[in-house]
Amino acid sequence: MKYSAWVPLAVVLVLALFGSFYVVSEGQSAIVLNLGKVVRSDIGPGLHFKIPFVESDRVFDRRLQVLDANPERYLTSDKQDISLDFFAIGRIDDVRAFYRATGGDEEVAVQRLAPIIKNALTGEINSRTLQEVVSGDREKVVARQLSSINRGAGTLGVHILDIRIKRVDLPEDSNVLKSVYDQMRSQRQQVASQLRAEGVEQAQTIRAEADRQQQVLLAEAERDAQKLRGEGDAKAAGIYAAAYGRDPGFYAFHRSLEAYRNAFADGDAVIVLDRNDAFLQYLRSDK
């Protein structure tokens, strides 16, 4: 009977012994609750003691966490509706405040951080046009509001280091997408028209230059041809003169043949002359 009475007591003592210690790993921080009230906080890594059955511990990860939120709708300064998808990089800065604000539930923290970030970004998006939001420096959009975001996040015991915009979408249920496509189509048409106009202008310039070069080449060729013909005629005349000077009879004969050729060129000419006319001297027979 005495041995049986000590067994429950030993079990209680063993449980109390194991329940008296808890371990906090590197990168974590813990708080100790006494009947639900925080009595110790910001407990660093190591092996720690607590009062068994009265105190309980809660360990939280204080490393950087990525807090992903659902895409939010915003209105730009030019009244265009956009959907902004972003995520925040932060960590638990004050474990006591984090527990009091969220009960230690990270999902609750994300749900309460999302509207804080959204409200801070609303002013920045509302002051920018759609083109500035899409093609501008997204880091500047966030950097200007990071301090105000951390003032709200501080009430949750959280510190936000950075917010990154993943994607900017045009909602399918708005007219923005159609207007953007129309604007892009108009811009492309303007670029195409400008390119076509520049192409026509360049073609006309090239064609005019080719025509000018053609005229220059033809003029130079005609000039060279006339020069060559003149030189050839002069050389031929020189040869004829030399030949005629050596034999005047041959010269007279050649001139008569030229006269005959010109007189009977059409093949139907009829010439009536005296048979003793000098024009016919080379046509008479000496028999």
pLDDT at site 106: 83
Q: Order across the sheet with 37-43: list the strands.
A: 37-43, 28-34, 55-61
Taking each helix axis as running N to C, give the angle between helix 176-246 and helix 248-263, from 0 to 180 degrees, rounded to the nearest 10. 130
Strand ranges inside the chain, DSSP E:
21-24, 28-34, 37-43, 46-49, 55-61, 65-68, 72-75, 81-92, 158-169
pLDDT at 15: 55
- Give the integer Cα–Cα distance in Å for 51 and 22: 11
pLDDT on residue 76: 78
- 158/109 Cα distance (integer angstroms): 8
Beta-ladder partners of 73? 83
- Structure confidence at residue 9 (pLDDT): 57
Q: Write out the DSSP string of 48-95.
A: EE--TTTEEEEEEE-S-EEEE---EEEE-TTS-EEEEEEEEEEEES-H
The per-residue pLDDT string of the chain (287 residues; one tens digit each, 9 = 90 and over) reads: 445 555 565 555 555 555 677 788 888 888 888 877 888 888 888 888 877 777 778 888 888 888 877 777 777 777 777 777 788 888 888 888 888 888 888 888 888 888 888 888 887 787 777 777 776 666 777 777 788 888 888 888 888 888 887 777 766 655 655 666 777 788 888 888 888 988 888 999 999 999 989 999 998 898 888 888 888 888 887 877 777 677 666 666 677 777 767 776 676 766 665 666 666 665 555 54
The residue type at 269: A
pTM above 0.85, yes or no: no
Q: Which residue ranges form the domains of the chain, and what is each CATH number? A: 2-61 (no CATH), 65-172 (3.30.479.30), 249-280 (no CATH)
pLDDT, position 287: 44
Separation in Å, CA 222 to CA 211, 213, 214, 229: 16, 14, 12, 10
What does the pLDDT read at residue 206? 92
Between CA 147 and CA 111 the distance in angstroms is 19
What's the distance, Cα to Cα, between the start and end of the chain in Å? 185
How far apart, in whole angstroms, are the C-alpha atoms of residue 119 and residue 56?
Answer: 37
